[in-house]
Amino acid sequence: MSTLAWAIVVVAGFLAATVAGTPVIRGLFKFVDWQTQRAAARREAAVAGTGGPELVDLRLERAGRDMPGGTWIGLLERVGIYSCIVAGFPAGVAIVLGVKGFGRYPELSTPDPAKSERFIIGTLGSLLWAAAWGALVSWLR
């Protein structure tokens, strides 16, 4: 592969792994909240003997409002993960995740479990998304 073609592949993969990852992770949060709502509505209907589901609070969405900067942190996390994999330094992924965990620890040590859930779901979603793009670009090399 020529140098120009390789550069285009790396930049395209970078944009897909980072910028395109933001709506994907937001969609993941909405999907998890929606599944939680459905499960709560089914439990409520089973207990009450009614079929009318009552919507529950969207926990992950609420937790996101309580944790400002999450979008930027997730974007930077995906930049780090993608870059480490494409550069051939997969151990760097552990460093990226460790820095994120230490940085968010004070916010996560609260009694609200939704914040921890959002952190874990977002981190794993971002990890899988960025790693998949990094692996694809590395494979194309």
Q: Report residue 123 as tokens.
A: 């981190």
pLDDT of 18-44, one tens digit each? 999 999 999 998 898 888 777 777 767
Tell me how many domains the chain contains: 1
Confidence band, pLDDT 50/70/90 cuts, at residue 61: low
- Going by pLDDT thresholds of 50, 70 and 90, the confidence category of residue 57 is low
- Residue 63, pLDDT above cutoff 70: no
pTM: 0.79
Is 78 within 8 Å of 128 (Cβ atoms)? no
Query: What pLDDT, in 10s, does the model give residues 40-53?
Result: 777 676 676 655 54
60 vs 78, residue with greater confidence:
78
3-state helix, strand, coil in the chain (%, to 5): 80, 0, 20
Please check the confidence at residue 78 and state whether its pLDDT lies above 70: yes
| Residue range of the domain that includes 106 | 3-140
More confident residue, 126 or 57: 126
| Tokens 């992950």 belong to residue | 60
Nearest to 29 by CA among 121, 139, 113: 121
pLDDT at residue 35, as a whole number: 83
